[in-house]
Structure 1
Amino acid sequence: MSTTTIATAKEVFDLLHDDLRAIEREFGDDAVSSVKAITEISDYLREGGGKRIRPSLLLLSAKSQGYSGGGMVRLGAVVEMVHTATLVHDDIIDAADTRRGRPSANTTWGNSKCVLAGDWLYMQAFRVALEERNFRVLDLLIGLTQQMVEGELLQMETLGRPVTEREYNDLIYRKTACLFEVSMRLGSVLAKVNGKTEASMGEYGHALGLAFQIVDDILDLTASEEVLGKPVASDLREGKATLAVIHSLENGTPTDREAILTVLTDQNFERVTHKEILAILSRNQSVDYAMNIAFRHAERARAALASLPDSDFKRALLWVPDFVVARDK
């Protein structure tokens, strides 16, 4: 690859291709249980694909700091197992029927088996992480898991009511940005770099994760079902107020506010349509507001890499925020 700015997803993928394939194999090997249902559910979830952005961040973090050992493949599989476990639990909590354009696992195996398979994946992730024989790795993963569980519980408590922007930021940190941050910090731990540099990598992951989730929430409101691979506006339908909606609640007319609160309370679009909500968001320029916040977080992520030595891996990390805010699904 040239030393010019990395410009495409393909270039980043080519940079990480072999390691990502190794992570896929590691994940496949690690997700085998003596209980058939667990192996089947794990395989189904793994084969569902996804962007693999979290293990990619871990790889880029480790490599940009001079690490080249096998630990990054092992821990890449670990963060993907943790992520997959949260997805299966999320689908059960949200009563989701689809995930990435396919039936969600709970529609095939039922909630009980999927809860247990998710629990098993969490424990297996910790078992694999133990092979690093590094307490800092376990400390990061334990803190991460607690934050994510607390985030789900906090979100349940906010369903059907408006939340402040501050509450929203706390929720999306726990739900998404925390795993991005830990993925970046694990790269520093592997490279035996700590203190200020690890904090900078964590800051990159934190800011990138916030940008990622804000864009995710915007797409949930504005994208088509064909592009999204799941029903649109599912957040509103579940009673969740995301950033663009919060902006219109706080800046719209009393009529706008009443219409949004009706949907949040009803958790359906029977009295107020999705089209009417989109019109309210458009009138108040709420989607633009949310996107500007996402761009701000993306810029903060790039700024956190200022002290990192120049390399193809750093250039890839500088490109990722652009990919996150420009994506359409």
Structure 2
Amino acid sequence: MSPLSIASAAEVEHLLHDDLQAVEQEFARQSQSQVEVITEIGDYLLAGGGKRIRPLLLLLSAKSLGFDGESRIRMGAVVEMLHTATLVHDDIIDNATTRRGRPSTNAKWGNSKCVLAGDWLYMQSFQTALRERNFHVLDLLITLTQQMVEGELLQTEKLGHLINEEEYFDLIYRKTACLFKVSMQLGAALAGSEDVIEQRLGEYGRNLGIAFQIVDDVLDLTATTAKLGKPAASDLREGKATLAVIHALERGTGAERECIRTVLNDRGFDRVTHATILDILKRHGSIAYAMDAARAYAEAARQSIAEMPRSAAQRALLWVPGFVVNREN
């Protein structure tokens, strides 16, 4: 990658600091409701922080095409509201009790209020998007929402079952990468770019999103609860087979495969410990295999925009894949 000029973290922070603050303020404004509990939940979710990587991508996409209109802030808040709504619903589905080191919203307010608050956030994000008076923007958001819901339903059907890599990549595209892709496409749509440019930026988002989710899944297996802000190995506890686990299942001995199946079926580590599963994964190079796949997708993201005109935003987009792969939580 030596011919490519990649921004530093400090340069990216300087480039986007004001815009991301404006997105935060817009999110706070948009999540206010006359129904007090909705505002309370919205404020709680916003205070929980997060990487804000989806609005970051939308902002960089728009900036890379020379667009700096106010709608980039509104749409940055839209993609973050959509993401936040999915987290609320995911925590309900997974019976999660913590998120980012704090009680999850469903643990504080209960499932009934939170599922409705998540629905409200979805509708509020679409109402905000309507202000663009842009059918293409709405088409992107509707297709995105359908794919995310389909992904969640497919994953629910697969819980406790063994899946292959093709099924895994389809799931993580629907659940994660499609929102990365659409965030990039929305930035291009706001700039009124040509279809080919929007497709190229969308491909960047797709590859980056896949890399992001693979790393997320690896960290779920290997990082501590303190780092993750939620219980370690949550995926296995919920019956989800991720890339490293699929790799080990394909290469392990009969006894090793049975250990993994036991955890997936039990939805816990009562009969087989987390340490035993990690030993199996490391023995077969499964963690390294998954991380190699993440790096390959991150590099594909970089290459998809390598020929774009040089700018501060393009250099920042070249930085993001490295951040995604090397993060610790």
Q: Which residue number corresponds to residue 6 of structure 1?
A: 7
TM-score by length of 2: 0.98
Q: Which residue number corresponds to residue 294 of structure 2?
A: 294
SS of residue paired to 2:318:
helix
Aligned: 1:158 with 2:158: yes
Query: 1:195 corresponds to which letter in structure 2?
Result: D
Q: Which residue number corresponds to residue 49 of structure 1?
A: 49
Query: 1:254 corresponds to which letter in structure 2?
Result: G
Query: 1:194 corresponds to which letter in structure 2?
Result: E
Q: Which residue number corresponds to residue 195 of structure 2?
A: 195
Query: 1:55 corresponds to which letter in structure 2?
Result: P
Shift of 1:306: 2.5
| Cα distance in 1, alignment partners of residues 95 and 46 from structure 2 | 20
| Cα distance in 1, alignment partners of residues 191 and 68 from structure 2 | 8
Q: Which residue number corresponds to residue 227 of structure 2?
A: 227
Q: Which residue number corresponds to residue 180 of structure 1?
A: 180
| Cα distance in 2, alignment partners of residues 227 and 11 from structure 1 | 26
| Cα distance in 2, alignment partners of residues 4 and 324 from structure 1 | 18
Q: Which residue number corresponds to residue 319 of structure 1?
A: 319
| Cα distance in 1, alignment partners of residues 11 and 171 from structure 2 | 33
Deviations 1:121-150 (A, max 9, x none): 000000000000000000000000000001
Correspondences of 1:229-248 after superposition (within 5 Å): 229-248=229-248
Aligned: 1:328 with 2:324: no
Shift of 1:68: 1.0
Q: Which residue number corresponds to residue 269 of structure 1?
A: 269
| Cα distance in 2, alignment partners of residues 153 and 117 from structure 1 | 20
| Cα distance in 2, alignment partners of residues 107 and 292 from structure 1 | 36
Aligned: 1:36 with 2:36: yes
Q: Which residue number corresponds to residue 88 of structure 1?
A: 88
Q: Which residue number corresponds to residue 16 of structure 1?
A: 16
Deviations 1:130-187 (A, max 9, x none): 0000000000000000000010000000000110000000000011000000000001
Correspondences of 1:91-130 after superposition (within 5 Å): 91-130=91-130
Deviations 1:27-62 (A, max 9, x none): 111101110011101110111000000000000000
SS of residue paired to 2:23:
helix
SS of residue paired to 1:162:
coil
SS of residue paired to 2:309:
coil
Q: Which residue number corresponds to residue 285 of structure 1?
A: 285
How high is the sequence identity, in percent, across the aligned residues? 66
| Aligned structure 1 segments of 4 or more residues deviating by more than 6 angstroms | none
Query: 1:276 corresponds to which letter in structure 2?
Result: T
Query: 2:68 corresponds to which letter in structure 1?
Result: S
Query: 2:37 corresponds to which letter in structure 1?
Result: A
Query: 1:85 corresponds to which letter in structure 2?
Result: A
Deviations 1:89-132 (A, max 9, x none): 00000000000000000111000000000000000000000000
Query: 1:130 corresponds to which letter in structure 2?
Result: L
| Cα distance in 1, alignment partners of residues 123 and 307 from structure 2 | 36
Shift of 1:5: 3.2
| Cα distance in 2, alignment partners of residues 97 and 104 from structure 1 | 5
Query: 2:173 corresponds to which letter in structure 1?
Result: Y
Query: 2:305 corresponds to which letter in structure 1?
Result: L
| Cα distance in 2, alignment partners of residues 308 and 138 from structure 1 | 26
Aligned: 1:141 with 2:148: no
| Cα distance in 2, alignment partners of residues 93 and 325 from structure 1 | 27
| Cα distance in 2, alignment partners of residues 24 and 220 from structure 1 | 27
| Cα distance in 1, alignment partners of residues 210 and 91 from structure 2 | 21
SS of residue paired to 2:19:
helix
How many residue pairs get aligned? The number is: 326
Deviations 1:279-301 (A, max 9, x none): 00010000000000000000100
Shift of 1:194: 2.6
| Cα distance in 1, alignment partners of residues 270 and 68 from structure 2 | 55
| Cα distance in 2, alignment partners of residues 202 and 140 from structure 1 | 11
Shift of 1:4: 5.7
List runs of 5+ in structure 2 lacking aligned partners.
Answer: none
| Cα distance in 1, alignment partners of residues 140 and 5 from structure 2 | 34
| Cα distance in 2, alignment partners of residues 311 and 303 from structure 1 | 16
| Cα distance in 2, alignment partners of residues 170 and 240 from structure 1 | 14
List runs of 5+ in structure 1 lacking aligned partners.
Answer: none
| Cα distance in 2, alignment partners of residues 53 and 144 from structure 1 | 17
Deviations 1:217-258 (A, max 9, x none): 000000011111110000000000000000000111111111
